[in-house]
Copies of this chain bind each other. A is one copy, B any other.
Amino acid sequence: MSETNLKLVIATARFYNALFLEINKNIQSFNLTISEFGVLEMLLHKGDQPVQKVAEKILVTSGTMTSVVDKLQNKGLVLRQKCEKDQRIFYVCLTPKGRSLIAKIFPKHAKFLDGLLSEVSEEIKKEVTNNLNLVLTSLNK
């Protein structure tokens, strides 16, 4: 029914905006954008990755990835390394500086989220997460 759908869309937008407004502020305090943070975080937890893989993970286009990796490279946080087997592919690799930064920052980010969401019960959070994932897979694209 139409009303239900509209309300879901509005609730999603409002929650997303409020949530990421706060997350953004926090990550900006580390002099990073969310995309830059996302790249570093993926590399920390999954090891060096092809540009393409990171783009899929953080939900940006290839053009955006070029620019994000450029910025991280200029800050000395990552390097590009050409793949031996497939010369089209560049791996994005953490430098020691990048690794120590994200290793220091990531726990702070997690702690920040803990504070932000401390009023919400574990059960509700799990329920919302499950339901969002459920609705996501049911989207008719």
Q: Closest CB-CB distance, A54 to chain B, in whole Å? A: 15
Q: Does A14 contact B (CB under 8 A)?
A: yes
Q: Give A96-141 interface residues, CB cut-off 8 Å to B.
A: 110-111, 113-120, 122, 124-129, 131-136, 138-141
Q: Are A18 and B132 in contact, CB atoms less than 8 angstroms apart? A: no
Q: How many copies does the complex hold?
A: 2
In-complex Cβ contact of A132 among B110, B116, B126, B128 (8 A): B128
Does A128 lie within 8 Å of B122, measured CB to CB?
no
Known: A6-B110, A59-B17, A113-B6. A22 touches B132 (CB 8 A): no
Binary CB contact string for chain A from 9 to 22 against chain B (1 if under 8 A, 0 otherwise): 10111111111101
User: In chain B, what residue has the closest Cβ to A41?
Assistant: B6
Contact of A59 among B13, B19, B125 (CB under 8 A): B13
Contact flag A139-B5 (CB < 8 Å), given A128-B128, A131-B124: no
A124 & B114 in contact (Cβ 8 Å cutoff): no
Residues of B contacting A31 in the complex (Cβ-Cβ under 8 angstroms): none
CB atoms of B9 and A113 under 8 A apart? yes
- Please report A residues at the B interface, Cβ cutoff 8 Å: 1-2, 4-9, 11-20, 22-23, 59, 110-111, 113-120, 122, 124-129, 131-136, 138-141
| 3 pairs of A and B residues whose beta carbons are closest in the complex | A119-B138, A11-B132, A5-B113
